[in-house]
């Protein structure tokens, strides 16, 4: 494995820029909201423009100070800021930067939020899928495979699978819909548009609805750059695994992408958590009091067969890595030959890096949406010592999105990954 700081080269912005071209195009400004400074610089480099001079500091009592030394009046401003650790500080920094730029007379402000914090706090009941429905979904996505290659149960068991995959919502304590509240704060601050990468949870599509129609939200998909790295591995009998039912759509994208790039029939599987909500709370309590702090995988059920297969787990976030490592252990016990994990956003909270290094996972691939370098010395040492970690950059995709928004172009090919219509390495015209 290479050094964690060696980012994998990805596709570049389609058009090259010169200073003359920049002046001709108009007043485009890009700045950082206080975090993701390296990522912002990378995006600006792909655009061929400098990062605007915005000074963000903290007072002794923790209050945030924002001062802009760039002319903002009449400009089209893009503020880049992931709302990751420290989450609340990052959100306040982003909001104060937006309000400062709005007060300076900016014509339009777009918040570029590669990782949208509080995106998992969308309210409502979580989805739940029973094993029969999961078997049906898995079968429908690998009908082209040889009989028995993936599924290990009779097809008759799936004929009467229920149509509904949603569980009922029990009585819960009152709580905010935090994702909606963050959306309201951004709108009140004066943001005109939001660009983000792989909104979480996958497949829900709820956060866009928390913004008013006058504030469009564009979500860029990282699938193409992820596949570029994932497919460097020469897979043997590849199977894409959704670690939970929300990721089935993402798993299908990777299944089709691997088949197109490597020409190998690729299976699909899903892992279900069959424990009840009461059991989940009991497990969480036991995990909190456990010295190791590991998640029990006793309630996990694999739908599909991975025996002797190379497995690719695809998810949206790696936070503490407890859930991911528990699923990896299940896959290894089920006979997986090799395990690769991909997640767009790498939060790496607590002992996440140690868990990943000690897990059966052979390689962990993430993107650079979250800055994980600026923490305490112990975390930096763990990051530098990580042998399994590889990071791919989505800065070129974000830069292209900014370029197209600034020029009133379409973002359709950045929003949707379609392996059947275009080569994943290139962007065709719509």
Q: What is the pLDDT of residues 38-79, one digit of tens each?
A: 999 999 999 999 999 888 888 888 788 888 888 888 999 999
Contact 238, 211 (CB under 8 A): no
Q: Band of the pLDDT at 29, cuts 50, 70, 90?
A: very high
Give the β-pairing of 267-273 and 300-303.
Answer: antiparallel
**Is the model more confident about 281 or about 341?**
341
Report the pLDDT averaged over residues 270-278. Answer: 73
| Residue 378 confidence (pLDDT) above 70 | no
The model's pLDDT over 141-155, given as tens digits with 9 standing for 90+, comes to 554 444 334 433 333
Check residues 40 and 385 and name the one with the higher pLDDT.
40
Q: What is the pLDDT of residue 37?
A: 87
Give the Cα separation of 344 and 224 in Å (integer): 12
Backbone angles phi, psi at 51, to 5 degrees: -80, 135
Helix 37-47 crosses helix 395-406 at what angle (to 10 degrees)? Answer: 60
3-state secondary structure the chain: CCCCCCCECCCCCCCCCCHHHHHHHCCEEEEECCCCHHHHHHHHHHHCCCECCEEEEECCCCCEEEEECCCCCCCEEEEECCCCCCHHHHHHHHHHHHHHHHHCCCCEEEEEECCCCCCCCCCCCCECCCHHHHHHHHHHCCCCCCCCCCCCCCHHHHCCCCCCCECCCCCCCCCCCHHHHHHHHHHHHCCCEEEEECCCCCCCCCHHHHCCCCCCEEEECCHHHHHHHHCCCCCCCEEEEECCHHHHHHHHHHHHHHHHHHCCCCEEEEEEECCCHHHHHHHHHHHHHCCCCCCCCCCEEEECCCCCCEEEEEEEEECCCHHHHHHHHHHHHCCCCEEEEEEEEECCCCCHHHHHHHCCCCEEEEECCCCCCCCCHHHHHHHHHCCCEEEECCHHHHHHHHHHHHCCCCCHHHHCCCCCCCCCCCCCCC
State how far Cα 326 lies from the chain centre.
20
Place of tokens 């974000």: 398
Pairing state of beta strands 193-197 and 28-32? unpaired
pTM value is 0.77
Q: Can you give the pLDDT at residue 119?
A: 77
List domains and CATH numbers for the chain.
19-121+177-221+399-406 (3.40.50.2020), 131-156+223-393 (3.40.50.2020)
**Average pLDDT over the chain, rounded to whole?**
77
Q: Which residue has the higher pLDDT, 66 or 192?
A: 192
**Structure tokens, 282:** 């009991």
Highest mean pLDDT among 163-172, 192-201, 357-366: 357-366
CA 90 – CA 348 distance, rounded (Å): 17
* Residues 58 and 64 sit within 8 Å (Cβ to Cβ): yes
Asked if residues 294 and 326 have their Cβ atoms less than 8 Å apart, the reply is: yes
219 forms beta bridges with 196
Does residue 204 carry a pLDDT above 50? Answer: yes
Give the model's confidence band at 125: pLDDT under 50 very low, under 70 low, under 90 confident, else very high.
very low
Q: Reply yes or no on whether the pLDDT at 418 is more than 70.
A: no
Predicted local confidence at residue 139, as pLDDT:
57
**Joined tokens for residue 15:** 């058009």
**Reported confidence tier of residue 203, pLDDT bands at 50, 70, 90:** low
137 or 212, which is more confident? 212
The token pair that represents 350 in the structure block: 């607590």
Between the alpha carbon of residue 59 and those of residues 56, 146, 153, the distances in Å are 10, 64, 62
């Amino acid at each position: 494995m290479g050094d964690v700081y060696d980012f994998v080269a990805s596709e570049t912005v389609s058009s090259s820029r010169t200073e003359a071209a920049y002046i001709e195009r108009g007043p485009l400004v890009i700045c950082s909201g206080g975090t993701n400074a390296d990522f912002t610089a990378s995006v600006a480099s792909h655009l061929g423009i400098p990062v605007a001079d915005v000074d963000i500091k903290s007072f002794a009592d923790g209050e945030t100070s924002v001062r802009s030394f760039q002319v903002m009046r009449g400009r089209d401003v893009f503020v880049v800021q992931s709302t990751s650790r420290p989450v609340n500080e990052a959100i306040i920094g982003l909001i104060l930067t937006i309000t400062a730029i709005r007060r300076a007379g900016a014509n339009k402000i777009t918040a570029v939020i590669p990782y949208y914090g509080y995106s998992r706090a969308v309210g409502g009941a979580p989805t739940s899928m029973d094993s029969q429905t999961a078997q049906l979904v898995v079968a429908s996505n690998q009908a082209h495979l040889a009989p028995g290659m993936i599924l290990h149960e009779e097809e008759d068991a799936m004929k009467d699978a229920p149509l509904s995959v949603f569980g009922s919502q029990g009585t819960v304590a009152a709580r905010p819909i935090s994702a909606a509240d963050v959306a309201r704060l951004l709108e009140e601050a004066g943001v005109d548009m939001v660009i983000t990468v792989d909104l979480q949870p996958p497949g829900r599509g709820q956060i866009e609805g928390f913004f008013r129609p006058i504030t469009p939200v564009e979500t860029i998909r990282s699938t193409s750059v992820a596949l570029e790295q994932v497919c460097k591995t020469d897979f043997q009998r590849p199977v894409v695994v959704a670690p939970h039912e929300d990721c089935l759509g993402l798993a299908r994208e990777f299944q089709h992408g691997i088949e197109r790039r490597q020409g190998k029939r690729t299976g699909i599987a899903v892992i279900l958590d069959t424990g009840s909500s009461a059991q989940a709370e009991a497990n969480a309590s036991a995990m909190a009091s456990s010295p190791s702090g590991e998640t029990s995988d006793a309630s996990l059920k694999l739908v599909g067969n991975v025996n002797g297969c190379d497995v690719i787990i695809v998810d949206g976030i790696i936070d503490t890595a407890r859930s991911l490592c528990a699923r990896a252990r299940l896959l290894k016990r089920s006979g997986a030959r090799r395990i690769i994990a991909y997640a767009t956003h790498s939060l790496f909270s607590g002992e996440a890096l140690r868990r990943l290094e000690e897990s059966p996972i052979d390689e962990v691939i993430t993107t650079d949406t979250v800055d994980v370098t600026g923490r305490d010395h112990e975390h930096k040492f763990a990051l530098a010592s990580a042998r399994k970690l590889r990071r791919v950059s989505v800065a070129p995709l974000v830069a292209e999105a900014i370029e197209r928004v600034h020029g009133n172009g379409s973002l359709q090919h950045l929003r949707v990954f379609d392996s059947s219509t275009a080569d994943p390495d290139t962007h065709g015209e719509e």
